[in-house]
Every structure is written in C-alpha cells, then in structure tokens.
Structure 1
C-alpha cells in the first residue's frame, strides 16, 4: 500500500507495528498541523509509486500511545521500519531528497 492520504481511524498497537514485515513508513502528525500539511507533497511524491513500501499514517496527540512509544515530540515525524525495526527517522522533512534517502535505507 503506497502513500495513504488519510489518517487511520484506529492506530495499530506497538506490538502490531513491531510484527510488521517488509518496509514500512509510519507517519505521525495531525490533519490541522501546518508542518504536516507542508510536508505532504514531499511524502506523497516519494511514496506514490512505491507499492513495495507500506505507509501508515497515524494521528498523534494527547492520549495517543503509539507516538509516545516512538518518542514522537514534533510533527510530522516519519519512522522508517524494516521488519518492524526502526532504521531511520525524519522530523519535519523540508526537501524531497531527505525522504528519498530515508526510503533507500529500508528498500531492498
């Protein structure tokens, strides 16, 4: 599942995320966050043709446990996972090359 424009209605548990196989990008943010909105074109362009990478978009905030388990403090935060293990992390990406380089760390 390449780029996902919508936040999940129900985020996965940390155990579910840790059990993921393959390449995954977990994006933490909110629909109303200005930084998140500015980063969306970068994220979408990087992931739109990448059927080999799963994109999980999680709405973060008070009471949202998954973001806390990853130590998310700023939005958007992109966590790049390979078989459920964090390999790379980007906080508030500004340029497309940052996202593309991070994707390379989890691509086969």
Structure 2
C-alpha cells in the first residue's frame, strides 16, 4: 500500500498504485452539495471500515481532479487496486453509495 500524506493532494500515480478498496471524494468545503452529502457519506463509510477514504479539496488547477475529469461536486470515485469501477456525482443516495462500496469490497 502506498502512503499518502493527508495534508497533500496525492498524485495520479500514487492513486493508481493503491492496493485494495479506495473511495476518492472530490469536493470543496464551501460547496452546498458537498456539505449536504456528508451525513450520507459518513454513515456509509462506518459500514465499510476496510475502505480507504481520501477527501480531496478540488478546484481550478487541481491536477488530480482534472485527471479524473471531475466537473461537479461532490464526485465520489470508487477504486479497486487503483482502477475505477464506479462513480457517483452530485446527488449521493444512500443505496447507490452502499452498492458502490460493496462493489469495491467484493472478493
């Protein structure tokens, strides 16, 4: 597993090399949609403690978000061994989020 500093935005190469299940959460602290999704995300992540959750402050000129073609917030990208399997954008629903987390944790 690659160590990623919580204070620095990871590079695309670091993200691509992550082993196991990872959820990338792209957003901005001032974004109303992001704020509204936090309770749903927090609740779901408690059910999947084995999933690495990386929150990324996104915005103009932020390379990682551009490499994933993030255009709206929040965008959740679900990776298994560094490969994107699923993505949720903007309206985060509990069941869809749970389904995505199950998909990346399935053997």
Question: For residues 11 and 80 of structure 1, what CA distance do their matches in structure 2 show?
Answer: 17
CA-atom RMSD in angstroms: 1.0
Map 1:87-106 to 2 at 5 A. Answer: 87-106=85-104
Gaps of 5+ in 1: 1-7
The corresponding residue for 2:3 is none
Q: Per the alignment, in what secondary structure is the counterpart of residue 39 of structure 1?
A: helix
1:16-47 Cα deviation digits (max 9, x unpaired)? 00000000000000110000000111110000
- Count of residues paired in the alignment: 101
Pairing partner for 1:55 from 53, 75, 97? 53
Q: CA deviation at 1:9?
A: 2.8
Counterpart secondary structure, 2:33: helix
For structure 2, list consecutive stretches of 5 or more residues without a partner in the other structure.
Answer: 1-5
2:63 is matched with 65
Q: Which residue of 2 aligns with 1:81?
A: 79
Structure with the largest fraction of helix: 2
